[in-house]
Structure 1
């Protein structure tokens, strides 16, 4: 947590966002007890309870909600002023919070590593989760998602190559099952199904010569994590449907074999996105410049 004299206000807004002292403490990089003490000290000083606390939940009081609504714009303006002043430094410094998916974060890691090497006074806080969130409301500087998922009111910067899915299975699996020649052949195969963050089951998508298909594949296991899907495919539990980037090492090593390649054309790419109506912090500007320097398509 920054020690700029605004820590208590930052603490109030973090707890208000998360409705959790533990989650807010994690975001701010302090202990739960230190955060609780900061909130209690502020409440004691102003003589008003801002949060109702139980062993299971945290909620804003009426006074707390009004306080948070009043403080948030002013604190945002102060942060912007500090960031603008800091932009005159020769080297960017500070903390940059980015929300993304685990797969996108793995693909963007070369950029993150180069960024931290180039700007040693910067800190990156990368939060991965499957669901889409409002990065402004949740206190993030930027997000990284598929370009098609970026909200229209955000500024998007292309990151990484065009993505392409691959259907793959282990050599052992293909000893017992013939290779599918068309997506329709998947009806006779065991597949590793994908559960989306929304809870819905993902239907595999195919396209060739203008013909598009979506198939609700069948299988004995449904997973929501690409690494688990890879493990299941390597073990011969069925065919998996993952990005080329995710399965590339296995395809090269021969632990997985690709099929239906002519039915999975490139379809989209990742984008880093951020709100255009706000001042762009120096650290975020430096990250954007690095992405563009590397051509966007070579993450």
Structure 2
């Protein structure tokens, strides 16, 4: 068996000090939103409880699917690297950026520079897509994080990553591995608002339909969801988690993360998911179980 934990969208706070110059961009509107709502919605004490619970579960690998920062400020990236270190050593903790981590153009490369140890392939190469093998599982990390205009939170994987993805998926299938694709934005046709969509989702779905995967994991919408996309051998499950820092003052689903217990072999895979998160009494515990394969 190989156990993979998936969490997303911590939106780590509080905001560091910033200058008026920092706000002369899309960040100005983002800061208003943060101080009006997000700083109350994302509770770092709740996040601490989830992290402690996840560490106690001792998964073989951890996947973090983006939005570690709030405004993509330069001073937010090192604390986010510290957060990733709390989840485990870099070789066990894979991370991809979200749209908040590429909030404005001049920080779009910061995740790779600061979190590169968590965004590298088994051979040490930093970049996307990356591949990490853990027992029966291969994690394939994609970046959909691109700078966008104010009020937009769209993403795009882009042709370079898409061209590389198909051969990777085929090669990992030949290796007999359970392939889990990581991307921040939703891939399935799930009704995500136009200004929050993955712009090249159709192209990505076409690759998955041709070359296959066993599971796709994402965040972005801050809610648990299960969907599917076509694959060459049947439907590919697509699963999302809520923000891992959502506290009781938020209107969004409570903070949670998922554990995936993968067993079996090619053609006869098994995968049971366990959702663990914030319960009504404030403790962290099991919320649900469901079968992926």
Q: TM-score, normalised by structure 2?
A: 0.25
Normalized per residue, the structure richer in helix is 1
Q: TM-score, normalised by structure 1?
A: 0.25
